[in-house]
Amino acid sequence: DAGVIQSPRHEVTEMGQEVTLRCKPISGHNSLFWYRQTMMRGLELLIYFNNNVPIDDSGMPEDRFSAKMPNASFSTLKIQPSEPRDSAVYFCASSLARNNEQFFGPGTRLTVL
């Protein structure tokens, strides 16, 4: 198995632009998580899905952030419009339901200028 796949690995954009981050979970996993990591705030859970349904989005910072999971093998995290304070590493993780052993992807390093 290739593990959790994230794209792009690096993204540099200008303030105000739309950014879309992509994630492919491990086949067979039915829970998917989006995290954000910064030096100031550490690793934070943004949202998680179970069987493609958002279960908890309380960590999503504001309305500029949205996440979708149209099917079991794909999820997106969108920021529109992006701001410099959104600069961070965004991780996607997946797991089997009822199991807290989460498998993390390599992350997307986002820089908003």
Dihedral angle of Cα 17, 68, 100, 2, to the nearest 10 degrees: -80
* Shortest distance, position 64 Cβ to other proteins, whole Å: 22
Closer CB to other proteins, residue 74 or residue 104? 104
* Shortest distance, position 36 Cβ to other proteins, whole Å: 11
* Shortest distance, position 15 Cβ to other proteins, whole Å: 25
Closer CB to other proteins, residue 10 or residue 15? 10
Closer CB to other proteins, residue 17 or residue 99? 99
Residue holding tokens 């590493």?
89
Torsions phi, psi for 86 (to 5 deg):
-80, -5
Q: 103 near 96, Cβ under 8 Å? A: no
Round to whole Å and give the CA distance between 90 and 10.
10
Closer CB to other proteins, residue 59 or residue 81? 59
Q: Is the peptide bond before 84 cis (omega within 30 degrees of 0)?
A: no
Site of interaction with other proteins (CB under 8 A): 4, 31, 33, 42-45, 48, 50, 55-56, 91, 93, 95, 98-107
